[in-house]
Amino acid sequence: MYDTKKALAEYVLPMLRDKKIIGLGTGKTVRKLVEVLQNANLLHNKIIITSSVDTDLLVSRYTQNVLSPLTGAIPEIYIDSFDFFLNSGDEKILVKGGGGALLREKILSFFSTERIFIGEKSKVISKRDVLVPIEIAPFALSFVVSKLRSSGLNPTLRESNGKMGPIVTDNGNVLVDVSVETSNLCALEREIKSIPGVIETGIFCEKLYDMIVIADEGGTIEIFQRSRESGQGKKNSTTYFAR
């Protein structure tokens, strides 16, 4: 069976060879990338900054060069995946946070020199409702939930089968998920983040990425590249991989 996650990891591998400080996101696709990096013997001479304890622990199996973001070191490149890629007309927006690491992912994405997001074709959408995660300070949870409901949203507290009560992020905050229409997502993010107590949302607008790489089960790689100067995204090229 064709492994799209492995194809994505191998596609971005050459972009990482000459980079010294690499930022890594969280999730199954990033896990596959770490595996590919290790098999290519590239982890031992890299400095890695990660977006979660989960990725920290994974990378630490292979190298001790895991750097705290408290050092202020800027990743030369940041690689992450996504839950949804809204590709509708001129709008090319990512939705992330299924793994609960959205705040740290957005921080690394904002500050890294180059930002590349990789994902499978099945995650590309045009118009439909999507679940958007919102990270909230625990003190403000009831207030924020009430405000979201009065705004016409229906937040659901994210819980886990592994513990009683809400999931707590690596930052000590809690998560709610709201189902929203895909139109005007960036405007919605600004509205949500204007509520005191909201720490971050999982909406990643165009200023937070430089390239999006999509793979399908047929072996096709599509690249959407954004110019930082113009702020406009475009479909740049298509490459075919053999099974």
* Residue 197 near residue 134, CB atoms below 8 Å: no
**Tokens 């799209």 found at:** 4
Tokens read off for 151: 């705004």
Strand partners, 239: 221
* Residue 74 near residue 111, CB atoms below 8 Å: yes
Q: Which residues contact 183 (CB under 8 A, 6 or more apart)?
A: 127
Verify whether residue 76 is a known catalytic residue.
no
DSSP state of 168: B
Which residue of the set 105, 120, 189, 200 is catalytic? 105
Q: Which residues contact 98 (CB under 8 A, 6 or more apart)?
A: 27, 83, 133, 202
Which residues are part of the catalytic machinery?
Answer: 105
